Amino acid sequence: MMKILLKIFFVTAGVIILNACSRNPYKGTNRSYKKQAKAYAKIISQYPLKDSAVNAPYWIGTTNFNMRKPNFIILHHTAQNSCDQTLKTFTTVRSQVSAHYVICKDGTVHHMLNDYLRAWQAGVSKWGNTTDINSVSIGIEIDNNGFEPFTDPQINSLLELLGRLKSAYSIPTANFVGHADIAPGRKVDPNKYFPWQKLSENGFGLWYDTTGVKVPDNFDAIRALRIIGYDVRKPEAAVYSYKLHFVPGDSTRIITDADKKILFDLERKYQ
């Protein structure tokens, strides 16, 4: 009898421990997410009766509308030491930062925010004529401290995710960019180890081919950076961000003849 009781005790204890380990440690922040999402849903569902135009005798709702959709993908490295640390940062109110997706080193993808909602990931940024990047983009954070290569499982998961997002929202190939691209001089992520060329080969972002390229004598490299999308108000910062993306082995802020060939080819692709 004692053996049976001990067996029952250990089995029960094991179940309790297993359940404790499997509990979601983010139940509290998930409740906060759901509460806020419901509040926004309530606002969206309201008829636009209190509008700037109030002289109409009655309200007429259009039948032709849908949800606003993202048009850019912004890629980041987390600049933290673990995926768990990043998840805690993104569920702490005082941090005031977030992303739609976080990809851990083992390839696990955490979808933290509905794609149609606005994450706080781009900050003060600009790409082409677009200045409110957060309102038109999906932010993807990849677990990486900024000084190390990305893992194969991470890149494989990223490519799969980007494929789904590109298809779902018809995101143009050129609109897959990095945080450093949209915030030159302020951000450097994803770092020099990020495989931009591999992404481009899979249809996410543009790349260059300088084979047979002849650069005109009057070629303006800074103009080319602006056409690609870079904010060139601080030219040296724009050059550095361009090099992080396209020439990661060169950390200078000087435009070389090789850079002119690359920029000339990219300018043609982005126009």
Domain ranges (residues) in the chain: 65-206, 208-271
CA distance 172 to 69: 13
Q: How much is the pLDDT for 59?
A: 77
Tokens 């600009």 correspond to 126
Q: How do the pLDDT tens digits run along the chain, 271 residues long?
A: 434 433 433 344 444 444 444 689 999 999 999 999 999 898 888 876 565 666 777 777 889 988 889 999 999 999 999 999 999 999 999 999 999 999 999 999 999 999 999 999 999 999 999 999 999 999 999 999 999 999 999 999 999 999 999 999 999 999 999 999 999 999 999 999 999 999 999 999 999 999 999 999 999 999 999 999 999 999 999 999 999 999 999 999 999 999 999 999 999 999 8
Q: For the packed helices 257-270 and 221-228, what is the interaxial angle rounded to 10 degrees?
A: 40
Q: How much is the pLDDT for 162?
A: 98
Q: How much is the pLDDT for 176?
A: 98
Burial of residue 99 (CB within 10 Å: 0-12, 13-18, 19+) is: buried
Per-residue pLDDT tens for 4-14?
Answer: 433 433 344 44
Q: What CATH topology corresponds to 65-206?
A: Lysozyme-like (3.40.80)
Catalytic residues: 141
Q: How much is the pLDDT for 62?
A: 85
Contact 184, 237 (CB under 8 A): yes
Which tokens is 221 given? 């490299």
User: Any idea of the CA torsion for 262, 263, 264, 270, to the nearest 10 degrees?
Assistant: 110
Q: How much is the pLDDT for 116?
A: 95
Contact 201, 163 (CB under 8 A): no
Which tokens is 97 given? 């930062």
Q: How much is the pLDDT for 22?
A: 65
- Residue 109's SS3 state is strand
Closest CA to 115 of 165, 178, 188: 165
